[in-house]
Amino acid sequence: MKTDYEILIIGGGPGGITAGVYCARAGLKTAIVEREVPGGKVNKTAEIENYPGFTSILGPDLAVNLFSQAQAVGANFIFDEVIKINQREDKLFDVHLKSKILIVKAVIIATGTKERKLGVPGEDKLYGRGVSYCAVCDGAFFKEKPLIVVGGGLAAIEESLYLTKFASKVTLIHRREEFRAAEPVVNKTRSHPKVEFMLNYVVEEIIGETTVQAVVVKNLKTNVTEKIEVAGIFPLIGSDPITDFVKELPILNETNNIITDVEMKTSISGLFAVGDVRNTPLKQIATAVGDGAIAAQKAIDYCDNF
């Protein structure tokens, strides 16, 4: 059975590259498909302090290290986008890219998620420089500095409380008065001395040249705007897994995350998923890397017994 690769990994973030390193070191012909740049969201993270082995490392530097290591052990990189995946009767996969179709034995999906954005001026410009979508990742960079959190769901409420460990003040902006979180959690956050709720407000603009300096908000009842000086803003209005290319496969849950077991296996034999794209309780570089190692070993076993 002729194949282009034994294992194809879709997504070149930390989880995908880790899987690629393990597979290539095991001697399997391995390729990683990445539609943007190797490293994924790591490239847009200014500084990382919670990844083992580095007291502190710049996101782009870690991305370069990941890319270089994968290349050094023989993993190939294909800069393209996957459109769909189809498993044939002979159990091989046809992976449809924009430019071609690849035939492989096993597939590891590591496409991650895409944050829902506010869509306001300054958000993209200052991403990674005061605009963050992960309080656990970046909260420690804002010690004794004022912050804004945007959102009305459980994540926004819990992360506001979490950020009080570091920030001098946390202002929670929400466009309504009702929350999509349990009342006890909301009340606990509301009663914290460092947290201020600004309800019926929306963010209009994020201001700053090299880092976030202020945020312009508007009162939806009065249409009056005001500028709040802060060092950072956390839009926590949700994220969506990048799974459109597998939407016809029976592997997604109600939030369109890929369902896997503890061995990163989906319900389709030979198809694995790792990192933020799957049904994981924690979305971190360290957990994605762990997923990648597990999926790789199971994919290697699968190919050896194909």
Among residues 235, 260, 287, which one ends one of the domains? 235
CB 68 within 8 A of CB 45: no
DSSP 8-class letter at 244: G
Q: Which helix (H) or strand (E) holds 184?
A: helix 183-190
- Which amino acids are annotated catalytic? 134, 137-138
The pLDDT, as a whole number, for residue 228 is: 98
The pLDDT, as a whole number, for residue 17 is: 98
Closest to 264 measured CA to CA, from 298, 303, 301 = 298
Q: Which helix (H) or strand (E) holds 155?
A: helix 154-163
CB 19 within 8 A of CB 108: yes
In a domain, 9, yes or no: yes
Written as six digits, the tokens of 211 are: 């880092």
The CATH number that applies at residue 18 is: 3.50.50.60
Same domain, 96 and 229: no
In a domain, 123, yes or no: no
Among residues 235, 265, 292, which one ends one of the domains? 235
Same domain, 108 and 11: yes
In a domain, 140, yes or no: yes
The pLDDT, as a whole number, for residue 47 is: 80
Q: How far apart are CA 80 and CA 228, in angstroms?
A: 42
Strands 146-150, 232-235: pairing is parallel
Q: How far apart are CA 195 and CA 60, in angstroms?
A: 33
3-state secondary structure labels for all residues of 255-297: CCCECCCCCCECCCCCEEECHHHECCCCCCHHHHHHHHHHHHH
Q: Per residue of the chain (306 residues), what is the pLDDT tens digit?
A: 789 999 999 999 999 999 999 999 999 999 999 999 999 988 877 788 889 999 999 888 999 999 999 999 999 999 999 999 999 999 999 999 999 999 999 999 999 999 999 999 999 999 999 999 988 889 999 999 999 999 999 889 989 999 999 999 999 999 999 998 889 989 999 999 999 999 999 999 999 999 999 999 999 999 999 999 999 999 999 889 999 999 999 999 999 999 999 999 999 999 999 999 999 998 899 999 999 999 999 999 999 999
Same domain, 108 and 14: yes
DSSP 8-class letter at 194: T
Structurally, the chain folds into a number of domains equal to 2
The pLDDT, as a whole number, for residue 44 is: 75
The pLDDT, as a whole number, for residue 231 is: 98
CA atoms within 13 A on the CB side of 44: 18
Q: Residues near 252 by Cβ (< 8 Å), separated by ≥ 6? A: 243, 246, 258, 259
Same domain, 83 and 46: yes
Q: If you search the block for the tokens 């994919």, which residue do you land on?
A: 299
In a domain, 87, yes or no: yes
Same domain, 274 and 216: no
Written as six digits, the tokens of 271 are: 């198809």
Same domain, 92 and 149: no
Same domain, 80 and 181: no
The pLDDT, as a whole number, for residue 168 is: 98
In a domain, 148, yes or no: yes
In a domain, 126, yes or no: no
3-state secondary structure labels for all residues of 89-148: CCCCEEEEECCCEEEEEEEEECCCEEECCCCCCCCCCCECCCECCCHHHHHHHHCCCEEE
In a domain, 121, yes or no: no
In a domain, 130, yes or no: no
Query: What's the domain range around 221?
Result: 135-235
SS3 at position 222: coil
Among residues 204, 235, 266, which one ends one of the domains? 235
